[in-house]
Structure 1
């Protein structure tokens, strides 16, 4: 049954504009306290402001335990050309497109698996203003916690999966991960 699901999933995702992808076991995912410390240092400005980021996602130990409850993991990227390394608008547009693709990939996984855990980029941007911490998330099926917020060391994970973390000058690469049974 699992083989058929993976085969079916792979047949569908090959039709999507994914740059690179790999399947791996959750035990192969690289979790790092250092990544969480960067989050807690609020280098991206999202710490404590979103249901998709720490501390709302739980401790590193809780995130790792949640990921390890799944049987398989799927990691994928998009790589988008931008004008130059200072093209902030290009970065933002590439992220929006990556999140739209993550929605499509998530739909495929939801069709073949039950309750996949979908992680994506830099916190959630579904709502203009997040309800955290005053109200529950209004769109929990559209809110994808950040891979780094879960403590995943994406740069090393890419190497382990034979994927490129950097796809050249004037390119922005985004990663998403799906944990599934």
Structure 2
């Protein structure tokens, strides 16, 4: 893709953001089903290849027991018609996702970290991202070595058992839409769910 096309893609959506805080106890009881999310994780190419992904050397429920609350951040990227009405190659879809969805993920992580740093009273917390951790260009797990930055490692909310679709539907009264890779179609909007346990 040429630079002007990439710029057009970067400006091709409207971001809508919703936030909600629940007690960790309530969230765990309603939305955490580790055995169910584990089966989904097993189908992912990153399963067992990233320190933030299952199988874990620890019990992931320990995160839910350690913290009192979870602050959820749900974002929708509503795309312009030239994105949703066109048919895209897998390579173009990858480019679109990097310039939009993954870019917003990075910006939100930066914003969360900034809010934590600037908090007058330092808090013990755990950021829950989306997808696998990509702090390092290559995860040290594949080299048989320990995690380089265990305190900064980013688990996705689903990797430790949370049902994302159920959360989005019941907490935010929203629906998740999916990319149709076979048809090369991007839906009206795509979503990100992130959180902070504290």
Mark yes or no: TM-score above 0.5.
yes
Q: Deviations over 1:102-146 (max 9, x none)?
A: 231133135344221111111111222100152222233443111
Residues 16 and 77, structure 2, Cα contact 8 Å, conserved in 1: no
Q: How many residues align?
A: 159
In structure 2, what is the equivalent of residue 48 of structure 1?
Answer: 48
Q: Is the counterpart of residue 107 in structure 1 residue 107 in structure 2?
A: no
TM-score by length of 1: 0.75
Residues 103 and 142, structure 1, Cα contact 8 Å, conserved in 2: no
Structure 1 residues 95 and 156: CA distance shift in structure 2, 3 A: same
In structure 1, what is the equivalent of residue 62 of structure 2?
Answer: 65
The 1-side partners of 2:168 and 2:57 are apart by 23
Query: Where do residues 1-181 of structure 1 align in structure 2 (5 Å cutoff)?
Result: 19-29=17-27, 30-32=31-33, 33-39=35-41, 41=42, 43-56=43-56, 58=58, 62-82=59-79, 83-84=83-84, 87-93=93-99, 94-110=101-117, 111=119, 112-132=121-141, 134-166=144-176, 169-180=187-198
Unmatched 5+ stretches in structure 2: 1-14, 179-186
- Bigger Rg, structure 1 or 2: 2
Deviation at 1:28, TM superposition (A): 2.1
The 2-side partners of 1:162 and 1:122 are apart by 20
The 1-side partners of 2:69 and 2:122 are apart by 11
Unmatched 5+ stretches in structure 1: 1-16
In structure 1, what is the equivalent of residue 7 of structure 2?
Answer: none
Structure 1 residues 89 and 19: CA distance shift in structure 2, 3 A: same
